[in-house]
Amino acid sequence: MRFSVLRNPITFNRINGWFNNMIKYQYDISNYLAIETAGGVDWHPIERKLVFTYNAPGLFQIFETRVKEGVTGSVIQLSSDENRSTDPCFLSDGSIVFHRDFGGNENFQLFVLNNSNKEQKITSDYNAKHIVLFTSESYLYYRANITNKSKFEIFRQKIPVLHNPPEKIFSPEEGLPTSLLTNDDNLCVIVISYGNTNEKVILYDVNSGEVTNLTESLKNGEKETYRWETIRWIDDSHLLVATDFNSDIIRLGVLDINGNFNEISNLEQKYEFNVATYRKGSKKTYFSINKEGFDELFCCEFTTKEAQNIEKVDLPSKGVILYGDTRSFSKAMSLSYDGKFLAISFSSSTIPSSPWLIDLETKKAWPAIEVRTAGIPIHSFVDCKLERFSSFDQLSVPYFIYYPNIEKPKNGFPALILIHGGPESQIRPYFNPVIQFFVAAGYVVVTPNIRGSSGYGRKYMDLDNVEKRLDSIKDIAFLAEELKKNEQIDPSKLIVYGASYGGFAVLSSLTEYPDIWAAGVDIVGISNFVTFLQNTASWRRKLREAEYGSLEKDLDVLKSISPINKIERIKAPLFIVHGDNDERVPLSETLQMYEKMKQKGLNVALLRFSDEGHGITKLPNKIKAYTKILEWLNTLLKN
C-alpha cells in the first residue's frame, strides 16, 4: 500500500531577498518536512520478514516487508489510526506487539496484530503507561504504572497474549525498571534507574521472590553512581554488560551473578559503546561504538574473560545506527532467525532513516525498503562537517555545521544554533528533515554537543550538573562568538533554537546573553525548574531531580537558573511551540513564560497544538509549525 504523503503543501513562491531577487526556492520548501522516516527493525521468528515503524501516512504506523537477498522490497501497512503506532516487535508465535498513545500523551497502550493482521488491544488503563521490556519464547514482559502512577512495576503475559491475562511479577521499592533479561523465565536480570547516571543491576527470582543486588558491592560509597546496560547471557552465570564502572566511557564488560565484574582485556575500547544485538543460540554478538557521533560496527564472540574472532562490519556509509524510544522506535538492530542477515535502522546526514540489510556472508548492504523524499533528489541534501571550539574554560566542544548549497549573501547567511534535549543526549549526524528544511531556506544550521551531552564520557556529561547548569549556556555563547568569525555567517543574524531541555537552553541564552541573539525559537521548553519539577509526570520527578537538583535541597539553585525569573533581560523576539498533552514538560511552562513576556511588552509568539504532546509528530502540524517559524524568522530578519 502506498500513499500520497504531501497534503495541501504550503508553497513558497516568494523571492529570497538575500540574493537581490535572483534566486528562488527550487522546491516547495515544505516538502522537506514530508521526507519519510522508518526504523525500529525486528525479524519474524521463522520467516524472512521484517516489521518496523514508518511515518509514510503522516505519522508513525506499523509496517512490514518481506526480505529477498539484494532486493529493496515493497511495504505493507499493518496499523492505521489517527494516533501514532510505534516500536513493534514479533512474539514467538509470529504475532506482533506494538505501542499506541493518544494525542501525544505518552500513556502507551499495548496492541497485538495476529497472523491475519487483525489488531486487538491487550491493555486497558488509558491513564497508565505500558512499555515492552523483553520477549522470551514463552512470555511478553513490560513495565506499567497501573497501581500507582508514580511507580512502575513489571508484568508479563504468557504467549499467546490474547488468551492469557497479565501477571504482576515485580514491584521495586523505588526507581524505574528500564530493562529486563531472562534465560529461563525464572531468573530475571533487571536494571533499575534512579537517574540517567545512577543505575543498578538486580537478579530477581520470580518463583521465590528473592532479590540480589549484583552491583551494590562494586560501589565505594553512596555517592558513586554508574550506568549499566545488560546485553546478553554469556552462560548461565555470566552476563555481557555495558557500563562506565571504573571507566569514564561506557564500555563492554562481564558481570556474574555473584556481583563480580571483569574487564574484557583484549578488546580495545577508546570510544563509548552504543548498541548491540544477538541471536539466541549463537555465540556471535554485533555491537557498535560511537566515534565522534558516527557508528562503527563490529562482530565477535564473548567468553567470560575475552572477545574472540573480532571482525569489523562495514556500514552502508559513514553514518549512524539509529534508535530512539517508544515515541518512535527503540530497536536499532535485529538478526534474522537463521543468522544470515543483520537488519539495522540506518541514517546519515544525507540518507533518510530507513531499515537496511547486511548479508553477513557476502557483506553486501542494501536498503530493505525505499523511503520517499517528497520529490527532492537525495543528491541535493546537505552534508555536515564536524568542528570543535574552545569554551570559556578551554573545554573542547564538538559541533556539526551545515551550509546552504547556494550563493552566500553579501553579509553572510543567518545561522540557527540547534540545541538538543536531554540534556544527557547527543545530536548525531543522522538525517533530520527539519535541519534540511532550514538549510534549504538559506540558513546555516549548527548542532553542538555542549557540556552535559552524552557520547563523550562521564566527566564531560557531568560538567553541567545542578549548580553548574549555566556553564552549558556559556558554551552556547562562546560558540556564537566563534561563529561570528565565520565569513559565511552574518554575525547580526544568530538564532538560538531548541526543544525540551534545548528549549530551556534557548530561554536561558536569551536571558543570560541577550545581546548575542537576533531571535529564539523554543519548542516544549522548560521556563521554571521549580514549577517544572512540581508539575512533570510524577514518575519522572525523582529521575529529573537527579540531574537538575531537588526541590528539597536545591531550591535556591533551581530558582537562580530559571529563565522566567530573568525575563526583563530578554531583548530578542521569541517564538514558542507547545503541545497541550505534554507529560514531560507541561504546557504550563510555556503559558507562564508567554504571559509574562506579553505583560512586559516583549516580542513573543505562541503556537499550540491540541493533538500533540512533547514535540510535533503529525505531518500537517509539522508543516504548520515549521513553515510559520520560517515565515516569522524571514520577516523578522528581513530576509
* pLDDT over threshold 70, residue 217: yes
Q: Are residues 338 and 424 in the same domain?
A: no
pLDDT for res 6: 30
pLDDT for res 466: 85
Q: Are residues 390 and 498 in the same domain?
A: yes
pLDDT for res 222: 67
Instruction: Give dist(CA 462, CA 439) in Å, integer.
Output: 32
CB 199, CB 216: distance < 8 Å? no
Distances in Å between the Cα of 8 and the Cα atoms of 4, 31, 454, 619 are 11, 10, 39, 11
Instruction: Give dist(CA 234, CA 601) in Å, integer.
Output: 64
- Looking up residue 67, the CATH number of its domain turns out to be 2.120.10.60
pLDDT for res 196: 86
Q: Are residues 354 and 410 in the same domain?
A: no
Q: Tell me the per-residue pLDDT of 379-398, one tens digit each, with 9 for 90 and over.
A: 999 999 999 999 999 999 99
Q: Tell me the per-residue pLDDT of 478-503, one tens digit each, with 9 for 90 and over.
A: 999 999 999 999 999 999 999 999 99
> For residue 80, what is its C-alpha cell?
492505521
Is 309 inside any structural domain?
yes
- Looking up residue 436, the CATH number of its domain turns out to be 3.40.50.1820
Cα–Cα–Cα angle for 189, 195, 196, rounded to 5 degrees: 85
Q: Tell me the per-residue pLDDT of 331-366, one tens digit each, with 9 for 90 and over.
A: 999 999 999 999 999 999 999 999 999 999 999 999
Distances in Å between the Cα of 46 and the Cα atoms of 94, 164, 495 are 8, 23, 52
Burial class, 381, CB count within 10 angstroms (exposed 0-12 / middle 13-18 / buried 19+): buried
Rg of the chain on CA atoms, in Å: 24
Instruction: Give dist(CA 240, CA 247) in Å, integer.
Output: 16
**Given strand 604-609, what is the order of strands in its sheet?**
385-390, 396-402, 444-448, 413-419, 489-499, 519-523, 574-579, 604-609
Q: Which residues of 563-591 are buried (b: 16+ CB within 10 A; e: fewer)?
A: bbbbbeebebbbbbbbbebbbbbbbbbbe
Q: Are residues 359 and 387 in the same domain?
A: no
pLDDT mean across residues, the chain: 93
CB 631, CB 639: distance < 8 Å? no
Which of 319, 343, 367 terminates a domain? The answer is: 367
Could you tell me the pTM of the whole model? Answer: 0.93
pLDDT for res 3: 34
- Give the other-Cβ count within 10 Å of 547's Cβ: 21
What residues contact 170, with CB distance under 8 A and at least 6 apart?
Answer: 153, 154, 177, 188, 190, 204, 206
> For residue 324, what is its C-alpha cell?
530512539
pLDDT for res 522: 98
CB 183, CB 532: distance < 8 Å? no
Q: Tell me the per-residue pLDDT of 401-436, one tens digit each, with 9 for 90 and over.
A: 999 999 999 999 999 999 999 888 999 999 999 999
Is 591 inside any structural domain?
yes
Q: Are residues 358 and 485 in the same domain?
A: no
Q: Are residues 590 and 508 in the same domain?
A: yes
* pLDDT over threshold 90, residue 19: no
Q: Are residues 612 and 580 in the same domain?
A: yes
Is 460 inside any structural domain?
yes
Instruction: Give dist(CA 144, CA 125) in Å, integer.
Output: 10
Place of cell 552566500: 408
For residue 283, which amino acid is it? K
SS (H, E, C) 194-251: EECCEEEEEEEECCCCCEEECCHHHCCCCCCCCCEEEEEEEECCEEEEEECCCCCCCE
Percent of the chain with pLDDT over 70: 96
Reported as a pLDDT band with limits 50, 70 and 90, residue 1 is: very low
Q: Are residues 277 and 312 in the same domain?
A: yes
Reported as a pLDDT band with limits 50, 70 and 90, residue 27 is: low
**Pick from 364, 347, 325: nearest CA to 86:** 325
Q: Which helix (H) or strand (E) covers residue 477, if one does?
A: helix 469-484
Is 27 inside any structural domain?
no
Cα dihedral angle (189, 190, 196, 199), rounded to 10 degrees? -70
Q: Classify 209 in phi/psi space as left (phi over 0), alpha (psi -120 to 50) or beta.
A: left
Place of cell 497502550: 109
Is 180 inside any structural domain?
no
SS3 511: helix
Is 358 inside any structural domain?
yes
Q: Classify 578 in phi/psi space as left (phi over 0), alpha (psi -120 to 50) or beta.
A: beta
Q: Where are the beta strands (DSSP E) in 279-340?
A: 284-291, 294-302, 307-313, 320-321, 333-335
Domain count, the chain: 2
* pLDDT over threshold 50, residue 22: no
Which of 340, 367, 394 terminates a domain? The answer is: 367
Q: Are residues 280 and 142 in the same domain?
A: yes
Q: Are residues 328 and 400 in the same domain?
A: no
Q: State the DSSP string of 545-583.
A: HHHH--TTT-HHHHHHT-GGGGGGG--S-EEEEEETT-S
Instruction: Give dist(CA 545, CA 614) in Å, integer.
Output: 19
Q: Which helix (H) or strand (E) covers residue 593, if one does?
A: helix 587-599
Q: Tell me the per-residue pLDDT of 502-531, one tens digit each, with 9 for 90 and over.
A: 999 999 999 999 999 999 999 999 999 999
DSSP state of 464: G
pLDDT for res 21: 30
Reported as a pLDDT band with limits 50, 70 and 90, residue 465 is: confident
Q: State the DSSP string of 401-424.
A: EE--SSPPPTT-EEEEEEEPSSSS
Is 29 inside any structural domain?
no
Percent of the chain with pLDDT over 90: 89
Q: Are residues 84 and 155 in the same domain?
A: yes
**Bigger pLDDT: 8 vs 180:** 180
Is 77 inside any structural domain?
yes
Mean local confidence (pLDDT), 570-580 = 98
Q: Tell me the per-residue pLDDT of 105-135, one tens digit each, with 9 for 90 and over.
A: 999 999 999 988 899 999 999 999 999 999 9
Q: Are residues 311 and 388 in the same domain?
A: no
Which of 312, 340, 367 terminates a domain? The answer is: 367
Question: Domain span at residue 285?
Answer: 36-171+264-367
